[in-house]
Amino acid sequence: MKVTEEEIRPEKVFNEYLELTAIDTVTFFSNADSFEISCPSCGSSDSKVWVKKSLFTYKSCPSCYTIYVSPRPVIESFNAYYTDSPSTKFWATTFYKITEAARREKLWKPKAEMIKQRILKFGEGVPVEYIIDIGGGYGVFDEEIKAIMDIKAIVIEPSVHLAQICRDKGLEVLEKFMEEILADELPAGRKCYVSFELFEHLHDPARFLQTVFNCMNKGDMFIFTTLSGMGVDIQLLGEHAKALSPPHHLNFLNPKSVTAILEKNGFEVLEAITPGKLDVDILKKNKEYINDIFWKNVLDYLNESELSGLQDFIASSGLSSHMMISCIKP
Ligand SMILES: [Zn+2]
Select from 79, 83, 41 the least CA-distant residue to 63: 41
pLDDT in tens, 257-295: 999 999 999 999 999 999 988 899 999 999 999 999 999
Counting beta carbons within 10 angstroms of the beta carbon of residue 1, is it exposed (0 to 12), middle (13 to 18) or buried (19 or more)? Answer: exposed
pLDDT in tens, 169-226: 999 999 988 888 887 899 999 999 999 999 999 999 999 999 999 999 999 999 999 9
More confident residue, 283 or 54: 283
Average pLDDT over residues 240-256: 93
Distance 2 CA to ligand 1 centre (A): 34
Residue 170's pLDDT is: 93
Q: How far is the CA of 107 from the centre of ligand 1 (A)?
A: 30
Q: CATH for 5-328? A: 3.40.50.150
On average, the pLDDT of the chain sits at 92
Q: 162 pLDDT band (50/70/90 cuts)?
A: confident
Distances (CA, A) of 326 to 15, 179, 224, 329: 33, 21, 7, 11
Pairing of strands 221-227, 251-252: unpaired
Determine the average pLDDT of the residues in 41-64.
95
State the sign of the Cα–Cα–Cα–Cα dihedral 166, 167, 173, 174: positive
Q: What's the gap in Å between 196 CA and the centre of ligand 1?
A: 23
pLDDT of residue 3: 63
Residues surrounding ion ligand 1 at CB below 5 Å: 39, 41-42, 44, 61, 63-64, 66
Asked if residue 1 has pLDDT above 70, the reply is no
Residue 15 pLDDT level (bands cut at 50, 70, 90) = confident
Ligand 1 center to 209 CA (angstroms): 17
Place 83 in a pLDDT band, splitting at 50, 70 and 90.
Answer: confident
Q: Ligand 1 centre from 92 Cα, in Å?
A: 33
Predicted confidence at residue 95, as pLDDT, reads 81
Q: How far is the CA of 41 from the centre of ligand 1 (A)?
A: 5
Domain limits of the chain?
5-328
Comparing CA positions, the residue from 81, 139, 147 lying closest to residue 113 is: 147
CA 20–ligand 1 middle distance (angstroms): 32
Model confidence pLDDT, tens digit, residues 228-243:
999 999 999 999 998 8
